[in-house]
Amino acid sequence: MKGTKAAARYAQSLIGLAIERGELDQVKADMELIAKVCAESHELDLLLQSPIIKPDQKLKALRSIFEKAVSKLTLQFIELLTVKGREAVITSVASSFGELYNQHMGVVTAEVTSAVVLSASQVKDIVKSLADLGKSIELIQNVDPHVLGGLKIKVGDQRVDSTLRRKLNELKHETHK
């Protein structure tokens, strides 16, 4: 999980509460919004990380940003984090929440890197070949012309590198032995 142990624990608590209250999908959407806003606003990130700005000022800013945009449960959670002095981990909590949500829903994230954009049929074939890993596959596509051809696939901590670049490097090392 990304972030700190504290962020993971807070995310675990929040997902449990959201499931219990039947608000899981709403809280997931809220966490995505929070992660997006924090990623796009350098000023907000600086505010949350600052030890100089008082927690009540941070809470006021967070309320003004999120009060009308998120559910009551999420807003109460933001307030709790701020009161506990943990507002600096809000972004990490949001990220950890997304990972926990995917685990709960049986969604497996696979990152595929290729030299060119994959066609719809290629994407379909990759998802089909990875289907036994989870209920559904979330495919993240990256294009890197340096791979020359073939694919790099990363699922969790497992990696498969069947790129032309890797094969050429192996041949190069074999000929120099």
Tell me, what CATH number does 39's domain have? 1.10.520.20
Q: For residues 39 and 66, state if they share a domain.
A: yes
Q: For residues 37 and 121, state if they share a domain.
A: no
Q: For residues 27 and 56, state if they share a domain.
A: yes
- Domain's final residue, options 103, 124, 141: 103
Q: For residues 77 and 144, state if they share a domain.
A: no
Tens digits of residue pLDDT in 119-156: 898 888 888 887 777 668 888 899 988 877 888 888 87
Number of domains present in the structure of the chain: 2
- Domain's final residue, options 87, 103, 119: 103
Instruction: Say yes or no to pLDDT of 3 above 60.
Output: no
What's the CA gap between 31 and 94, in Å, rounded? Answer: 5
Tell me which amino acid residue 71 is: S
Query: 59 vs 164, which has greater pLDDT?
Result: 59
168 Cβ partners below 8 Å, 6+ apart? 148
Give the global pTM. Answer: 0.72
Q: For residues 119 and 144, state if they share a domain.
A: yes
**116 burial via Cβ count (<10 Å: 0-12, 13-18, 19+):** exposed
Give me the mean pLDDT over the 75-89 stretch.
Answer: 94
Instruction: Say yes or no to pLDDT of 74 above 50.
Output: yes
Q: Please give the residue range of the domain that contains residue 133.
A: 107-175
167 Cβ partners below 8 Å, 6+ apart? 150
